[in-house]
A and B are shown apart, each in its own frame.
Chain A
Amino acid sequence: MKVTKIFDKGHQWFMFGRDPEKADSIIDTNQYMIVAGERALLMDPGGIEVFAPMLGAILHHAKADQITDLFASHQDPDIISSLGLWDQALPEARLHAPWIWEGFIRHFGMNNIEYVGIPDEGNTLNLGLINLEFIPAHYLHASGNYHVYDPVAKILMSGDVGAALESPEGPIYVDDFDEHVTRMKMFHQRWMPSNRAKNDWISRVRKLDIEQMAPQHGRIFKGDDVKRFLDWFEELEVGTAIGNDDD
């Protein structure tokens, strides 16, 4: 598991991904961790198969009991099917996840961890030294879905939005936006169901001061590429599996 520190000023952001031991048949995922003093938040911790490499990689940077909080942007298996194992590794932790998915996510096995449902309008998580915002991203692509915004680091962890189907050798940051579009287009057209939801999210996110947009698959957008992404996404017709959208 490759670990990249993407922010380090008072608190740290780590990106985990590009796992060379991962089977080819499962989609490559990026996991993120914020370490803020004595506490840490693990975001979209991933599937069962990445659990061991993830835990191993984490323990180079944080103590197990330091991870007081987990976050799942939505209920997908590549996001949180490892829950049954985290439940045994971090029994004291809390999981922040969409309230509508509680009964579903519990199917992954949760006997110890506490489920903290995030309300539809989103909310703020106090992680001791810092506050993080859970930004609604409903229907992008799951019907209950959030992103994590860190106003100090100016990073938006954007879940499946901005995702690209990437090879495990791919770089961490987007270097050529136009070329990168080829890896994102189909993903967004097919996985994102609603143009209305997309535009609603764009208008909300445009108000945030973002230096890095960090998706759960593919590469991180930095600086002007964040705005480029929002413009590109705005123009893109999504929900294409049923032909032309009606709005």
Chain B
Amino acid sequence: MANMAQNEDKLVALASIAAELHSVMNVAYGVSLAAKNAKVISAQAGDKGLGFQPITDFIDEISQLAIEGVSTINENALRLSKIAVHEQRSYDAYKRFTSVIKKNEDAAYIKSLNPSMDRVETHMIKSFKEFRNSMKDLFVQLEEMDKHMLSARAIASVSRVVTSNAQEFRAKLDVVADNLDNAAVFIKDKVSDSYEHLDRVKTLTREHA
């Protein structure tokens, strides 16, 4: 019974990761758009925007990384939920088969259930291993995303220094830097929440084992 509730918890925690990251996608798209804008502005600024041009490339790159990273993380969270459901189903069958065998030792054909029992057990162990591996991958992906966002914040503060020479374009370029910084803070926040959910999944998985 405890296992059933834990598995439900696990499924909720996995769904929460997808929910957290949903909003990240829109923000990342926003940054990507801002980066493209900034490119236009720095081109207009000519020499005054010279230092800013490589930065806009970097902002564009990082927003692409965020978009791709979030889709991968989402796919993996979904995969984990699916594996968890499979695992739950094999586990449920395994439990019921076990009770059948225990209560009907005297049944003439009780041994004929053995092949199915073995199959379900193998399937359960396989799902469990698959779950663990995908979970590890997901932790790594979340850590990587966190690092990207740290670099994004660093770039935002560097760009403020660079734009100090951009004169009349400064305000516009600063808006881009602010956008990037806000987006990075927001995404970092969501990533850290997701990390917590995944930690909960990990704890539940350990208890389950």
Q: Are A65 and B112 interface neighbours, CB within 8 A?
A: yes
Q: Does A56 contact B (CB under 8 A)?
A: yes
Q: Does A239 contact B (CB under 8 A)?
A: no
Contact of B113 among A55, A61, A85 (CB under 8 A): A55
Interface segment, one of B7-15, B52-60, B87-95, B143-151: B87-95
Q: Does B120 contact A (CB under 8 A)?
A: yes
Q: Are A89 and B109 interface neighbours, CB within 8 A?
A: no
Interface string of B88-128 (1 = CB under 8 A from A): 01101100110110011011111011011001100000000
Chain B residues positioned under 8 Å from A84 (CB to CB): 89, 93
Task: Pick the most buried of B103, B108, B112, B120: most chain A CB atoms within 10 A of its CB.
Answer: B112
Interface string of B70-93 (1 = CB under 8 A from A): 000000000000000000011011
Which A-chain residue is minimally distant from B108 (CB atoms)? A60
Contact of A90 among B92, B96, B100, B116 (CB under 8 A): B116
Q: Are A85 and B109 interface neighbours, CB within 8 A?
A: no
Contact of A91 among B97, B100, B110, B119 (CB under 8 A): B119
Q: Does A51 contact B (CB under 8 A)?
A: yes
Q: Are A89 and B92 interface neighbours, CB within 8 A?
A: no
Which B-chain residue is minimally distant from A112 (CB atoms)? B119
Q: Are B96 and A51 interface neighbours, CB within 8 A?
A: yes
Chain B residues positioned under 8 Å from A89 (CB to CB): 93, 97, 113, 116
For the complex, would chain A's binding face be called helix, strand, loop or mixed by DSSP majority?
helix
In the complex, how many angstroms separate the beta carbon of A208 from the nearest chain B beta carbon? 33
Chain A residues positioned under 8 Å from B89 (CB to CB): 84, 88, 109
For the complex, would chain B's binding face be called helix, strand, loop or mixed by DSSP majority?
helix
Task: Pick the most buried of A51, A59, A60, A109: most chain B CB atoms within 10 A of its CB.
Answer: A59
Q: Are B116 and A91 interface neighbours, CB within 8 A?
A: yes
Instruction: Give residues of chain A (55-114) contacting chain B, Cβ–Cβ below 8 Å.
Output: 55-57, 59-66, 84-85, 88-91, 109
In the complex, how many angstroms separate the beta carbon of B91 from the nearest chain A beta carbon? 11
In the complex, how many angstroms separate the beta carbon of A16 from the nearest chain B beta carbon? 13
Known: A56-B104, A89-B97. A63 touches B119 (CB 8 A): no
Q: Are A52 and B113 interface neighbours, CB within 8 A?
A: no
A155 to B120 CA separation, bound complex (whole angstroms): 36
Q: Are A64 and B104 interface neighbours, CB within 8 A?
A: no
Task: Pick the most buried of A61, A65, A89, A91: most chain B CB atoms within 10 A of its CB.
Answer: A89
Known: A59-B112, A60-B108, A64-B116. A85 touches B100 (CB 8 A): no
Nearest first, the 8 A-B pairs at minimum CB distance are A63-B112, A56-B104, A59-B107, A88-B93, A64-B112, A63-B109, A60-B107, A56-B100
13 contacts between A and B (CB under 8 A): A52-B99, A55-B113, A59-B108, A61-B109, A62-B109, A85-B92, A88-B93, A88-B116, A88-B120, A89-B93, A89-B113, A89-B116, A90-B116
